Amino acid sequence: MIKNDGELSLRIDARIKLLTEFREYAHRWYQGQYEPEGEAELRKRINKTLIPARMAVVQAGAIKLMTIGPPPAVGGVVPQNIDPFQNFFTDFYGISLIETVIDAVDQAIGVYEQALVGSDLVNLESKDALDIETAIERALRPSFRKHPPSKEVEVQDAIEDILNAVGVDFIRDKEVALVGPRASRPDFTIEAMSLAIEVKLAKEGHGASDIQEEMNADITAYKTKWKRLIFVIYDLGVVTDPHRMIRENQRLFGISVLVIKH
């Protein structure tokens, strides 16, 4: 329970406020209620809060992926594993996903409200589980103010410092996932969260396609032992479409990818 953890309570309060605000914007867009600010400004507000709201929904375990079939008389492709947040403004065969987004937001708010009162009915792992990705995103690039890293181990060392600062218990480069004759070893594991963290350095001669190929092999192995995977890619300017990389890996494999630009 977390009702006596003041810092975490403030963080959860902020998530509830964010989700409540986003829900209002989403509902108004769905109903075509663009005034008083106008359609363009309302869309801008939705876009500014959409990704943080999605992250809060994911962390609450309320994300939903959808499969939408065409009408029988029409036929055609059946889109699968559609993320309604990433397709907020898209209709599939005339079907809007906004109601599904609103349902997920309502469920996430319920999870956070229960967590605030210390309910045993929900299980938010800890403040570390909620904030570890944010901590890496905030602190990793400043670790290389003087010069960019030349080796992957330098990025690993910086992440080790971040994890120590967050106060999470982790193991570095020791835990192994065995798949047939191959032993795969993630850079960091956090057993309390069933989490593996793998670090990649993207640079000339080791670009996005190379890294994705490595990630595909890692995902297959790591998912046999850990429920949650985070790949941290420190990019020295060779990943041309980081948003697509993040989106596609989340959609296809359900993993988190952080692309940190130097």
202 strand-pairing partners = 235
29 strand-pairing partners = none
Give pLDDT, residue 1.
39
As a whole number of angstroms, the distance between CA 107 and CA 84 comes to 15
Print pLDDT tens along the chain (262 aa).
344 456 667 778 888 999 999 999 999 999 999 999 999 999 999 998 988 888 788 778 788 777 887 777 666 666 677 888 988 998 888 889 999 999 999 999 998 998 887 766 665 544 455 578 888 888 899 999 889 999 999 999 999 999 988 778 899 998 888 766 677 899 999 988 889 999 999 999 999 999 999 999 999 999 999 988 999 999 999 999 988 898 888 878 888 899 999 9
Give pLDDT, residue 154.
97
- Pair type for strands 228-235 and 195-202: parallel
**Which of 262, 208, 206 shows the shortest CA–CA distance to 234?**
262
Whose tokens are 């309570």? That residue is: 9
The pair of three-digit structure tokens given for residue 44, joined into one six-digit string: 């801008």
As a whole number of angstroms, the distance between CA 210 and CA 255 comes to 18
Give pLDDT, residue 248.
87
Neighbouring residues of 134: CB distance < 8 A, sequence distance ≥ 6: none
118 within 8 A of 2, measured Cβ to Cβ: yes
82 strand-pairing partners = 66
As a whole number of angstroms, the distance between CA 124 and CA 127 comes to 8
Per residue, the 3-state secondary structure of 76-109, as one string, reads: CCCCCCECCCCCCCCEECCEECHHHHHHHHHHHH
Q: What is the dihedral of CA 218, 53, 248, 79, to 10 degrees?
A: 130
User: Cα-flanking dihedrals φ and ψ of residue 150, to 5°?
Assistant: -105, -15
Q: Tell me the domains of the chain and their CATH numbers.
A: 6-116 (no CATH), 127-261 (3.40.91.80)
Neighbouring residues of 37: CB distance < 8 A, sequence distance ≥ 6: 45
As a whole number of angstroms, the distance between CA 145 and CA 141 comes to 7
CA atoms within 13 A on the CB side of 253: 23
Give pLDDT, residue 104.
94
